[in-house]
Amino acid sequence: MDAAPCIAVDAMGGDTGPAAMIAGLARAHRRDSKMHFIVYGDENLIEAELAKHPKAARAVDIVHTSEAIGASEKPTQAIRRARTTSMGMAINAVKDGKANAALSGGNTGALMAMSKLALRTMPGIDRPALAALLPTLGDTDLVMLDLGANTECDAQNLVQFSVMGAAYARTVLGIAKPRVRLLNIGTEELKGTGELKEAAALLREADYLPLAFNGFIEGDQLSRGEVDVVVTDGFSGNIALKTAEGTARFVTDLLRRAFKSSIRSKAGFALSKPALELLKVHLDPNNHNGAVFLGLNGLVVKSHGGANPKGVANAIRVAAQMVANDITNKIGDDLDNFRAHAFNHEAA
Amino acid sequence: MDAAPCIAVDAMGGDTGPAAMIAGLARAHRRDSKMHFIVYGDENLIEAELAKHPKAARAVDIVHTSEAIGASEKPTQAIRRARTTSMGMAINAVKDGKANAALSGGNTGALMAMSKLALRTMPGIDRPALAALLPTLGDTDLVMLDLGANTECDAQNLVQFSVMGAAYARTVLGIAKPRVRLLNIGTEELKGTGELKEAAALLREADYLPLAFNGFIEGDQLSRGEVDVVVTDGFSGNIALKTAEGTARFVTDLLRRAFKSSIRSKAGFALSKPALELLKVHLDPNNHNGAVFLGLNGLVVKSHGGANPKGVANAIRVAAQMVANDITNKIGDDLDNFRAHAFNHEAA
């Protein structure tokens, strides 16, 4: 492998076939022309899209397959088709050392199951987690995990997620000692489940880790910009993420109604439009596209199925940053450190 | 007790002492002058506030106590002070038949523990749940429960919450057959925890109940106006509620920044102001104040600690509607119905 990252792309996973994936890839390539790509899927469809982006086409190898994982296909079925489907082949490219990261906009459950089977979890990690960036009022986004890979988690899982999330914040956001909190229904020590209390106790003791554990956080504080990493089980994380998305859309829908409610407010809208565009950019999920499966022996990035080319380019940028910063090894070092201390602690 | 509702008010629970509670009570009394109140707390402070509302003062009996439950007091400590604190005395007034409902803006955990101990759960209910109304894009609000009373719930709890939530929607929102969904991380039948799948199976069979069970709902669909009752465990419910509150505040904060970003957008804001006021009203948590503990042999309503007089008046209106519609007996009838069917089912 070269120094420049190579990304294995599942071209068939998004909601609209390869169009957005290829246009996004071209966009990412314009930003960094050293990148290259192996694109898996229907050769004819991929070539038709690449014809629109001749410069990027030169950085692409196509591997043809007519099989793709369906949006509602069960993970247990999908894993049997790992060798023949565009999603499975993209993941295997990472496993075989042909690519540094895989990208897919397809079925999350299938992507997770296939990635776990092909790449296996890192030593010290019991379960991988899905992590993504969320917008805040602060200067940087926050990292949140798990967003749906694990419905139920124990204290050890939550500690491991904290280590992985902090590594994400260090490598992608450039924060030396990220502020980490556990999502809970109150900030007092006695609140929440037994798993949360135990995880908090473990993290409070692990002061040698490159993170600052600040206790619990409630859902209404997520976007205040006062935390860098929020850790939770996959059920609560998915509920929080989707509720935040839905509420942002709800408020902007109400805003649209308000602006349309009178001629006067329509004029007000016309005047405010450039400023409101900034709001739109801030809330556009495409600017936060690219959720990462952390804790595997290799990088897999999930793009939103409905992402536009800008969104796909963002997901590719996330993957490239993680490759460049060698996040997998950084997580490994932190985990070794954690286990060595825990062992000494037990021995003492 | 008279036909007009009598509300027992804990005057000392809110963040600002009795001021907002008494002003809210006066506001509710202006809307319905037949209501009356027993107000518990520091007599001098209460009388000073009531002096500003001479009409409402005539509908109030004051019961003095100098003891109040602290905001961070543990529920286990609080229950020992039920007889002497303003919160405990207000709940006991419901137990003793002196009032139709109790209202407090204090410590939720203490209110829950004291209410459960004094009023006990209804036959057929294992655990009470905290329910409240959330705004939607539709014509009516939605009822969501549990919002934090029970960190973990089994399938039977979720079924009982569905019955109680539907009774809430029928009595307060006037929907004959409310659409009920379980909050989950996907809408396919195989998604989520074992408890959710089992609850869904039970609800699908219970087609004799006065509700339409429509399966699962994800967090991003909550505010679309396509569901009347959303049921979840108290952990996820609290995360969803608070994330929604936080996100709404986040978007309006961004909006405020956008409007202030240039002279042009400031002018746009001035023009749009009347329309934007409607947005503000729609999102104001005071317009949705009043969470109810359902499933007890008596009504207890929780007002937000920071509610303003309008918010307090709203919480009192919720309590009065539930009293007028006899929600406790309606829930009891539905539960009897459910158990009779379940029993026949088992016997068959």
**The pLDDT value given to residue A3:** 62
For position B1, what pLDDT does the model report?
43
Quick check: A343 pLDDT over 70? no
Q: CA of A103 to nearest chain B CA: how many angstroms apart?
A: 22
What is the rounded distance in angstroms from the CA atom of residue A296 to the CA atom of residue A292? 10
Residue of chain B whose Cα is closest to the Cα of A137: B250
Whether B300 and B99 have beta carbons less than 8 Å apart is answered as no
CB contact under 8 A, A265 and B274: yes
What percentage of chain B's residues is helix, strand, coil (to nearest 5)? 50, 15, 30
pLDDT at A211: 95
What is the rounded distance in angstroms from the CA atom of residue A166 to the CA atom of residue B173?
Answer: 46
Q: Does A272 touch chain B if contact means CB atoms closer than 8 Å?
A: yes
DSSP E strands in chain B: the ranges are 6-10, 36-41, 60-64, 101-104, 129-134, 142-145, 179-183, 212-217, 229-231, 291-294, 299-302
- CB B329: neighbour CB atoms within 10 A? 11
The string of pLDDT tens digits covering residues A78-135 is 999 999 999 999 999 999 999 999 999 999 889 999 999 999 999 889 999 999 999 9
Domains of chain A: 1-125+295-325 (3.40.718.10), 126-287 (3.40.718.10)
Check: CB of residue A209 under 8 Å from CB of residue A197. Answer: no
Amino acid (one-letter) located at A171: T
Residue A347 has pLDDT above 60, yes or no: no
* CA distance to A124, A140, A173, A276, per residue, from B82 (Å): 49, 47, 51, 52
Amino acid identity, position B102: A
B152 lies within 8 A of chain A by CB? yes
Mean pLDDT value across residues A66-82: 92
Q: What is the CA radius of gyration of chain B?
A: 21
Mean pLDDT of A316-320: 93
Query: Quick check: A282 contacting B, CB < 8 Å?
Result: yes
Lowest mean pLDDT among A323-327, A336-340, B210-214: A336-340
Q: What pLDDT does residue B3 have?
A: 61
Segment holding A21, helix H or strand E: helix A18-31
Predicted confidence (pLDDT) at residue A346 exceeds the cutoff of 60: no
Stretch A180-188: mean pLDDT? 92
| pLDDT value at residue A228 | 97
How far is B218 from chain A, CA to nearest CA, in Å? 7
Give every CB contact of residue B194 below 8 A, 6+ residues apart in sequence. Answer: B155
Question: How far is B303 from B293, CA to CA, in rounded Å?
Answer: 11
Chain B 162-201, residues with CB within 8 Å of chain A CB atoms: 183, 185, 188, 190, 192-193
A247 pLDDT tier (thresholds 50, 70, 90): very high
Q: Which residues contact A121 (CB under 8 A, 6 or more apart)?
A: A127, A128, A295, A296, A297
Indicate whether A1 pLDDT > 50: no
**What residue of B is the nearest CA neighbor of A152?**
B193
A199 pLDDT exceeds 60?
Answer: yes
Please answer whether residues A138 and A172 qualify as being in contact, where contact means their C-beta atoms are separated by less than 8 angstroms.
no
Residue A345 pLDDT > 80, yes or no? no
Tell which residue, B133, B128, B147, has the closest CA to residue B331.
Answer: B128
| Interface residue A139 vs chain B (CB under 8 A) | no
| Length in residues, chain B | 348
Of A183, A236, A271, the CB nearest to B265: A271
- pLDDT (tens, 9 = 90+) of chain B, 348 residues, equals 446 899 999 999 888 889 999 999 999 999 999 999 999 999 999 999 999 999 999 999 999 999 999 988 999 999 999 999 999 999 999 999 999 999 999 998 899 999 999 999 998 899 999 999 999 988 889 999 999 888 889 999 999 999 999 999 998 888 999 999 999 998 887 788 999 999 999 999 988 889 999 999 999 999 999 999 999 999 999 999 999 999 999 998 888 888 888 888 888 888 888 878 878 887 888 888 889 999 999 999 999 988 999 999 999 999 999 999 888 888 888 888 877 887 666 555
Which positions 115-134 of B are in contact with A (Cβ < 8 Å)? none
- Residues of chain B positioned with their CB less than 8 A from the CB of A258: 272, 275-276, 278-279
Determine contact: A74 vs chain B, CB below 8 A. yes
Counting residues of chain A whose pLDDT is more than 90, the rounded percentage is 68
